[in-house]
């Protein structure tokens, strides 16, 4: 092959190589753009996953903080309740079922409740008052003031406990059942005897009476 033929052959090879490169899709600008786009999508997905992991971590921390805060509040309430109970133990003598002074009505509020009752009605109540009188023999009943002229007769459930005989004049909180009761002449005379009334006073009792009655299952007596 002469020099001229070799030159032509080299030119043809170069031309084919250039043409092949021209139509090689893997090396085209469009294909490079798609490849870059895929990389960007992958990077965005990774970024989203990282952000999701961070958010999940924050959520776990928030949940843990809320749980600890709730536990702290519950513990605080429990401690305050214990302190209140300790104060009540210091301030009151307890009789019968264990009760607290919380949500106890005053005597005026209790009197209003009684006025809404009729014979046969019963309501569960807790109220505070002052002891007017106590059974002088056993302490098996007491009378509590509702106002200057009105009182309620308090007896104790199943005679399960009695009050100190010297409790008259002390503040008290009672919990139990309030009701309106018709008291027979015989019962009225019996209560008069227990209270140390004179024979003349007992003889003057000739008619039944309506009374505001209370059956206490628990009592707090202020020391």
Would you give per-residue pLDDT tens digits along the chain (223 residues)?
544 444 445 444 444 544 444 444 444 555 555 555 555 554 555 556 656 555 556 556 566 666 666 666 676 666 665 666 666 667 899 999 999 999 999 999 999 999 999 988 999 999 999 999 999 889 999 999 999 999 999 999 999 999 999 999 999 999 999 999 988 999 999 888 888 889 999 999 999 888 999 999 999 999 9
Instruction: Please report whether residue 179 resides in a domain.
Output: yes
**123 and 83: one domain?**
no
DSSP bridge partners of 212: 152, 180
**128 and 215: one domain?**
yes
First to last CA, the chain: 134
pTM of this prediction?
A: 0.58
pLDDT at 19: 43
**114 and 82: one domain?**
no
CA 85 to chain centre: 17
**85 and 127: one domain?**
no
* Helix, strand, coil % over all residues of the chain, rounded to 5: 50, 25, 25
**132 and 218: one domain?**
yes
DSSP bridge partners of 142: 134, 154
Sign of the dihedral through C-alpha 38, 44, 47, 48: negative
Whose structure tokens read 């090879």?
Answer: 13
CB 219 within 8 A of CB 94: yes
Give me the domain span that covers residue 5. Answer: 1-92
pLDDT at 18: 45
Residues 216 and 128: their CA atoms lie apart, in Å, by: 12
Q: How many structural domains does the chain have?
A: 2
Count H helices, E strands: the chain?
5, 6
pLDDT at 115: 95
Of 92, 118, 134, the residue that ends a domain is: 92
Of 59, 92, 125, the residue that ends a domain is: 92
pLDDT at 3: 43
CB 171 within 8 A of CB 191: no
Q: Supply the CATH number for residue 112's domain.
A: 2.40.50
Backbone angles phi, psi at 195, to 5 degrees: -85, -5
């Amino acid at each position: 092959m002469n020099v001229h033929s070799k030159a032509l052959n080299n030119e043809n090879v170069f031309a084919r190589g250039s043409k092949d490169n021209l139509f090689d899709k893997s090396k085209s600008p469009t294909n490079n753009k798609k490849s870059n786009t895929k990389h960007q999508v992958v990077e965005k997905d990774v970024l989203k996953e990282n952000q999701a992991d961070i958010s999940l971590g924050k959520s776990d921390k928030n949940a843990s903080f809320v749980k600890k805060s709730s536990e702290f509040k519950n513990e605080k309430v429990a401690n305050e309740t214990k302190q209140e109970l300790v104060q009540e133990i210091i301030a009151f003598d307890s009789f019968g079922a264990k009760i607290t002074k919380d949500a106890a009505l005053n005597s005026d509020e209790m009197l209003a409740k009684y006025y809404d009752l009729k014979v046969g009605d019963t309501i569960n109540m807790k109220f505070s008052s002052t002891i007017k009188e106590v059974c002088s023999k056993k302490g098996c009943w007491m009378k509590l003031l509702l106002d200057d002229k009105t009182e309620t007769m308090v007896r104790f459930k199943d005679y399960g406990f009695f009050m100190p005989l010297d409790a008259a004049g002390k503040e008290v909180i009672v919990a139990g059942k309030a009701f309106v009761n018709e008291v027979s002449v015989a019962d009225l005379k019996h209560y008069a005897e227990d209270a140390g009334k004179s024979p003349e006073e007992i003889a003057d009792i000739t008619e039944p009476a309506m009374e505001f009655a209370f059956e206490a299952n628990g009592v707090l007596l202020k020391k």
